[in-house]
Structure 1
Amino acid sequence: MNFFEHQAAARRTSAWLVALFALAVAGIVLAVDLVAWIATRSTGALAFFSLATLATIGLGSLYRIASLRGGGEPVALQMGGVPVPENTTDLNLRRLRNVVEEIAIASGVPVPRLYVLEHEAGINAFAAGYSPSDAVVAVTRGALDRLNRDELQGVIAHEFSHILNGDMRLNIRLIGVLFGILMIGLIGRKILQNGGLGGRNKSAGAVVVAALAALVIGYIGLFFGRMIKAGVSRTRESLADASAVQFTRQTVGLAGALKKIGGLAEGATLNDGGNAEEVSHMLFGEGLKLSGLFATHPPLLMRIQALEPQFRGEELEQLRAKWFAAAPVGLDEDAMLGLDAVGGSRLPNATQELNVTPPMVAAQVAAPAADDYRRADAIASGIPEALRDLAAQRDAVMPLLLALLLADDEALAERQRFEIAARLGSDAADHAARIHQQLVADLHPMLRLPLAALAFPVLRLRPRPQLDAFMDTVHAVVNADGEVSLFEYCLGRLLTVQVRESLDPGRYSHFGPRKPNAVKREIALLLAVVAQAGHDDADSARRAYLAGMLRVLPNEHLAYAPPANGVLALDEVWGPLDRLDPLAKQALVEGVTAAISNDGRISVAEAELLRTICGVLHCPLPPMLERS
């Protein structure tokens, strides 16, 4: 399956999840009614207890879903995660940040926030959030200490598969939904822990009996919850393993991490059993000692053999004996295996043209491969150290991102500086102008989006009022003059979308049900702007427009009509287009590619424009459009 098919499958899984949830609720209501009938023999009591049970489950689910509206960060904090500082000197944390940054650049998404579960010695990790804009990646201290760089890369690539394919959104909603069906048991447990709410009379005894009954009924919810998580999770974990191998193009790292889980005493088990139960379906390895129907992951040996078919179970026993005497140390293995650095490749010349086709580009959305990882290393190395330092500074990150939007034309740049000064102050405006003149004006076009991705984790640490002011400033800078290029416009829009989603991920991060015919006017407008921006004469632009329309709406005949206000007309199209269903988005990506590459070749600058438009539409595109 490609990205769009994964998203469509996630929507179908969500519908299946609703059906299983309804079945679980029905089972709990019937169990409560049975207890109520035995206790009261009253049909009126049955109606009351049924309604009370439904209300308890519904309110519990709504409460938990509301508590997770902040996206991935609340989950990481609940698990005891500690944020990884941007300027950390810990070698393990530095290595983790480098690996995550390279994979984020190769995937075409913002760098997620990083957390470490410091008190967990087992080897495990998870990704949480509604979308790449609010994603967090958390790893255990055991994973940092025991895994070498290849193994850590395999684990992180596995987690990025969950980020890219929509698994995170489903997983975080699963937490909220399943909390409701556990509510009856939780209430019974709390009452028993508090001694039946005090007292020694008959009513207190009745409360204890009711609490015991609720606790027993709660196991029905636990049974269904574990079954649902196992059913949703297992296939996705196998797919994530396969995606990680496709990405890193080697099985040694991921297989090595799985072998260490099987060979070390700590395995993947988490000490915090209560929280591990809730997030077990999100983890890299089995966080609880569950097997059979309740296991959220395929058997460990099966996962290893999918990567190394010749591996046998007795080899795990040999590794256990070997590591019982001396547990491996990841950094020491790096030095011994020469994994201290990753070999990269060179960036293409800024004027180079690429040979691409629309289906090829659509197939690469959210499907990074080894070529992308090698290029990501070159991209990360190509970003000047001064810009990387600015991207890690809280006070410099806003001027840095605004500098990417400043025009080379002095008159227009002056108007843009005025807009920045009016909203963020003259110091921010001057700082942005200096960064643009000294560091950004001659920046390779392939480095602008990755630089924004590196800066994003620091940007979203700023208080909400400052982020609101920043979004307003971005809009003003982009709209300072009608001569703003399509790339600058789209980059500004991409920044706005990502900041907005990081502030309120539960509200904005979703896929819609719309079909192309419902938004044909918006599709025509986008393709007309893209075609006009990429061609000097009207005839060439019209041919490019028609090539794009043929991919998206082959049976429609909408005339080429570029808007008078150019790129600024696109403000009204993004919302409707983002609500297209996943497979319709695939056709749209192919249409935009066909319009940009009407002659079959696109420049590096046009490729970056395509990546930016895909980012706005939540279709992350890796940097390597041509595969070697």
Structure 2
Amino acid sequence: MNFFERQAAARRGSGRLVVLFALAVLCIVLAVDAATLLLTGSAGATLAATVATLAVIGLGSLYRIASLRGGGAVVAAQLGGTWVPEDTRDPSLRRLRNVVEEVAIASGVPVPKLFVMEQEPGINAFAAGYSPSDAAIAVTRGALDRLNRDELQGVIAHEFSHVLNGDMRLNVRLMGVLFGIMMLALIGQRILIYGRGGRSRNGGAVLVAALVAMVVGGIGVFFGRLIKAGVSRQREYLADAAAVQFTRQTRGLAGALKKIGGLPAGSRLDDKADAEEIGHMLFGQGRAASSWLATHPPLAERIRRLEPSFDARQLQALQQRWRAHPPDGLAEDVALGLAQAPVAPPSLPASGARMAMTPPQVAGQVGAPAEDDYRHAHDLVEGLPESLRELARGRATAMPLLAGLLLEADPAVAARQRSELVARCGEAMAAHAFELRRQRLEALHPMQRLPLAALAFPALRQRPRPELDAFLGAIEAMVHADGQVSVFEYCLSRLLQVQVREALDPSRHARFGRRKASGVREEFATLLAVLAQAGHPDQPLQAQRAYLAGLQRVLPRDHVAYAPPAEGVRALDAVWEPLDALAPPAKQVLVEALVDAVSHDGRVGVAEAELLRTVCALLHCPLPAMLERGR
């Protein structure tokens, strides 16, 4: 399956979740009613028990869903994760951040927040959040200490697959929904503890109520585990396959799985409550479970799919070897040469270079980074001056750096932009942004602008909300300082707006699109017309041909005349929300139409490719950093 098919599957998974949840609720209510009728013989008491049970389940689910509205970072923090600062100097944390940054840039998504579960010696990880903009990735201390860089990269690539394919969003919703059907078991435990106090006159009744709640609650626990197992198991195979496609080598992911099987701690979480609640989200099995209630496929089978010659008996040899001398991930990096700096400076294509690409090829790359994308992302990051990377990761410097990326070269326009920035964010930030633009950003390669913005995103969203609101207002004003706004600058500013807004209110943006292409004809036409005109500003005939090439793919039976909007790029403000609400298959056709438009002459320039990446990011169809593979 490609990205769009997996997104559609995740949407169908949401529907199945509703059906299974309803079935679980029905079974719990019937069990409570049967127990009440048996104990009281009263129809009125049975009706009251039905209402009370539905209320407990519903309120429990609503409470847990509300507690998760803050997105991935809230989930990771609630589960004991410790935030990893952007400027950390700890070697193991620095290695983790470097791997995650490179995977994010290769995937075309914002760099997620990072957390470490310091008290967990097992090897495990999970991704949480409603969208890539609010995603958080947490790894255990055991993963940091025991895995080498290749193995850590395989685990992180596995988790990014869940981020890209919509699994992460479904997992967070699952946490909230399942909490409700497990509420009776929790209530039974509390009643049992209360009843043991021995001070209640109705101790017998309390004990009976506790036992009934525990037994009926067991039904909820059973269904909860069954739902998690059904939702999670097959997706783990898909995520393993995606990680191998990304890293283009099996030794990293297979090595991580072997260490899980060979070390005493395995992938187990010592916190049993966390292991129960997030078992379906983890890289490895978080708690012991019977094979048909396990949230993950058998470990040996996962390894065998990566290495067909693997024999499960090899794990016994590893267990004996590591019993006395557990592996040290950082030491393995040195021994394997994984900690060495690149011997040759990275190179990027000339700004005027042109690439060959086809619509199916680009659509196939959406949400499906491969090994050359990872290598190219590494080159992009290494190619950025260390001083710029430090500025991007700094809380105080991320804002002026991003503002500097949007400053115009025209002095008159830049002066108006400065006035807008001063009015909203102060003279100091404006001066810093202009200094960065003049000294460091003017010579930046076009392919480095989006990666630099991605590096700055984690530090940006650490700022207080009032500061972010003021900064976003300044960005909006800067872009519209005059009517001559380039499409790339408009899209980059819009992307910044969208990503920050989603990070501030993640649950509001958690949705799977359902609209069909026929319902957004005018929006399609507007986007294609603006892109065609931007690619051929002085060639109206070529622009019309580019427009018609894209329209033919997305609306082959319709004729919408080429009519570039008078307001130019600002007309795009009205198209993003309707187009982003398209169903995944319709989005695939849209991406192919955009490629048709920019490559109608058979070649695509670097600037056009970066524009295409930005537009796709706005539509939540992330593209890798390089669109021409195998170059």
- Give CA-to-partner distance per residue, 1:563-621, whole Å, 9 cap, x none: 11100111111111111111111111111111111112110111000000001001100
Q: Please say if residues 262 and 300 of structure 1, whose CA atoms lie closer than 8 Å, have aligned partners that are also in contact.
A: yes
Q: Please say if residues 413 and 482 of structure 2, whose CA atoms lie closer than 8 Å, have aligned partners that are also in contact.
A: yes
- Displacement of 1:167: 0.6
- AA of the residue aligned to 1:116: V
Counterpart in 1 of 2:247? 248
- Displacement of 1:49: 1.1
Counterparts of residues 202-217 of structure 1 (less than 5 Å) = 202=202, 204-217=203-216
- 1: CA distance, partners of 2:196 / 2:535: 73
2:22 pairs with 1:22: yes
Counterpart in 1 of 2:226? 227
Q: Which of 583, 586, 591 is matched with 1:584 structurally?
A: 586
2:287 pairs with 1:268: no
- Displacement of 1:194: 2.7
- AA of the residue aligned to 2:589: A
In structure 1, stretches of 5+ residues that fail to align are none
- Displacement of 1:342: 6.8
Counterpart in 1 of 2:162? 162
Counterpart in 2 of 1:422? 423
Q: Please say if residues 162 and 240 of structure 1, whose CA atoms lie closer than 8 Å, have aligned partners that are also in contact.
A: yes
Counterparts of residues 7-18 of structure 1 (less than 5 Å) = 7-18=7-18
Counterpart in 2 of 1:604? 606
Q: Please say if residues 270 and 287 of structure 1, whose CA atoms lie closer than 8 Å, have aligned partners that are also in contact.
A: yes
- AA of the residue aligned to 2:561: A
- 2: CA distance, partners of 1:341 / 1:70: 39
Q: Please say if residues 549 and 597 of structure 2, whose CA atoms lie closer than 8 Å, have aligned partners that are also in contact.
A: yes
Q: Which runs of 4+ in 1 moved over 4 A?
A: 342-345
- Displacement of 1:200: 2.7
- 1: CA distance, partners of 2:192 / 2:463: 44
Counterpart in 2 of 1:4? 4
2:444 aligned counterpart, secondary structure: coil
- TM-score scaled by length of structure 1: 0.98
Counterpart in 2 of 1:69? 69
Q: Please say if residues 122 and 143 of structure 1, whose CA atoms lie closer than 8 Å, have aligned partners that are also in contact.
A: yes
2:543 pairs with 1:541: yes
- Displacement of 1:511: 2.1
Counterpart in 2 of 1:508? 509
Counterparts of residues 85-234 of structure 1 (less than 5 Å) = 85-195=85-195, 199-202=199-202, 204-234=203-233
Q: Please say if residues 126 and 139 of structure 2, whose CA atoms lie closer than 8 Å, have aligned partners that are also in contact.
A: yes
- 2: CA distance, partners of 1:414 / 1:196: 75
Q: Please say if residues 100 and 156 of structure 1, whose CA atoms lie closer than 8 Å, have aligned partners that are also in contact.
A: yes
Counterpart in 1 of 2:440? 439
- 2: CA distance, partners of 1:132 / 1:428: 28
- 2: CA distance, partners of 1:295 / 1:116: 24
- Displacement of 1:386: 1.7
Q: Please say if residues 87 and 394 of structure 2, whose CA atoms lie closer than 8 Å, have aligned partners that are also in contact.
A: no
Cα RMSD for the two superposed structures: 1.2
Q: Please say if residues 122 and 268 of structure 2, whose CA atoms lie closer than 8 Å, have aligned partners that are also in contact.
A: yes
- 2: CA distance, partners of 1:551 / 1:42: 66
- AA of the residue aligned to 2:169: R
1:624 aligned counterpart, secondary structure: coil
Counterpart in 1 of 2:389? 388
- Give CA-to-partner distance per residue, 1:12-41, whole Å, 9 cap, x none: 111111111111001100000011101111
Relative to structure 2, which stretch is displaced further, 133-142 or 505-514? 505-514
- Displacement of 1:467: 1.0
Q: Please say if residues 133 and 503 of structure 2, whose CA atoms lie closer than 8 Å, have aligned partners that are also in contact.
A: yes
Q: Please say if residues 342 and 377 of structure 1, whose CA atoms lie closer than 8 Å, have aligned partners that are also in contact.
A: no
Counterpart in 2 of 1:412? 413
- AA of the residue aligned to 2:471: F
Percent pairwise identity = 64
- 2: CA distance, partners of 1:531 / 1:398: 32
- Give CA-to-partner distance per residue, 1:386-408, whole Å, 9 cap, x none: 21111111111111111111111
Cα gap change, 1:196 to 1:554, in 2 (>3 Å)? farther
Cα gap change, 1:555 to 1:197, in 2 (>3 Å)? farther
Counterpart in 2 of 1:570? 572
In structure 2, stretches of 5+ residues that fail to align are none
- 2: CA distance, partners of 1:601 / 1:193: 72
1:194 aligned counterpart, secondary structure: helix
- AA of the residue aligned to 2:140: T
Q: Please say if residues 196 and 205 of structure 1, whose CA atoms lie closer than 8 Å, have aligned partners that are also in contact.
A: no
- Displacement of 1:198: 7.1
- TM-score scaled by length of structure 2: 0.98
- AA of the residue aligned to 1:156: I
- 2: CA distance, partners of 1:475 / 1:518: 29
